[in-house]
Amino acid sequence: MPNLKEIRTRITSIQSTQKITSAMKLVSAAKLRHAQTDIINLRPYSEKLNKILCHLSDSLGCSSGNLLFAQRPPKNVMLIAFASNRGLCGVFNSNIIKEIDRIINEKYKKQQQDGTLKLICFGKKAAEQLQKNYEIICVNESLIENPHFDEVDKIATGLMNDFIHRKIDKIEIIYNRFMNPATQIITAENYLPITKMEIKSSKKIMYADFIFQPSQEEIVSELVPKILKLQLYKALLDSIASEHGARMTAMDNATRNAGDMIRRLTLNYNRARQANITKELIEIISGAEAL
């Protein structure tokens, strides 16, 4: 059994760690409130835009002439991963890495072997692991800390231009979808090309007879880039909210585990102290009897 000094040192060390994890939990909870508000406020707008586009593109579909609908063999593939810049958030980052490995092994093994598979990472933690096996052309750390739609707009515009000019044939985004602080769902979505099935809502929609001004094709062409930009921005906000939720949950578990360890060590300390006292009493009594 460790001596009393070792147990006291360990208890003090765990108490210090407990204070740190408790403070990190409070910080993550404060950040989560803001991030959760942002994503909850954005979702209705995003869903409404998709419904509008669903109405407009139902009769057009992939025959609309819009180059963002163009279906091509996926020779050049781009995967966009959303992770975090820091750790201590449970399996948040490792789930993204595992999902990317699964997608590549199941769908894009040939592209990886041919060198036509590339990645863009938001957050450096996933990039640190993924760069060991895959080609990463860009790592964006700033948007994770300060998300701005203007910056996402530029990135989305660049991706659309690359797709239109046939530099990229397929783009997918992988992120954690925020449900609640304790639940994040790993999600992989097709980004480009746009398919009719992914634009349509899962619910049955009643179509009305509209008069379009300007033409239906022009409205679809105007809406598609906006929706693609919003899709990328929503994935970013979902990932940020999920990160704070995952970190808050992880730090709460760490704080409670530290408390359990302190209670066990305190019990061991009291037992060891009691054993020492009993031993000393026995020695005193034995010495008195010998006299």
Segment 40-96, tens digit of pLDDT: 999 898 888 877 766 666 655 545 567 888 888 999 999 999 999 998 898 999 999
Provide the greatest CA pair distance for the chain: 114
Q: How many other CB atoms are found less than 10 A from the CB of residue 181?
A: 19
Mean pLDDT of the chain: 86
218: its two tokens: 């022009």
The angle, 0 to 180 degrees and rounded to 10, between the axes of the packed helices 149-164 and 216-290 is 120
Task: Provide the pLDDT for residue 102.
Answer: 94
Average pLDDT over residues 234-255: 94
The single-letter DSSP state of residue 78 is: E
* Strand pairing report for 183-192 and 170-180: antiparallel
* Closest CA relative to residue 170, chosen from 153, 200, 195, 190: 190
Judged against a pLDDT cut of 60, whether residue 267 lies above it is answered with: yes
pLDDT band for 209, please (50, 70, 90 cuts).
low
pLDDT band for 202, please (50, 70, 90 cuts).
very low
d(CA 82, CA 127): 10
Length of the chain: 291
d(CA 2, CA 137): 52
* Strand pairing report for 170-180 and 77-82: parallel
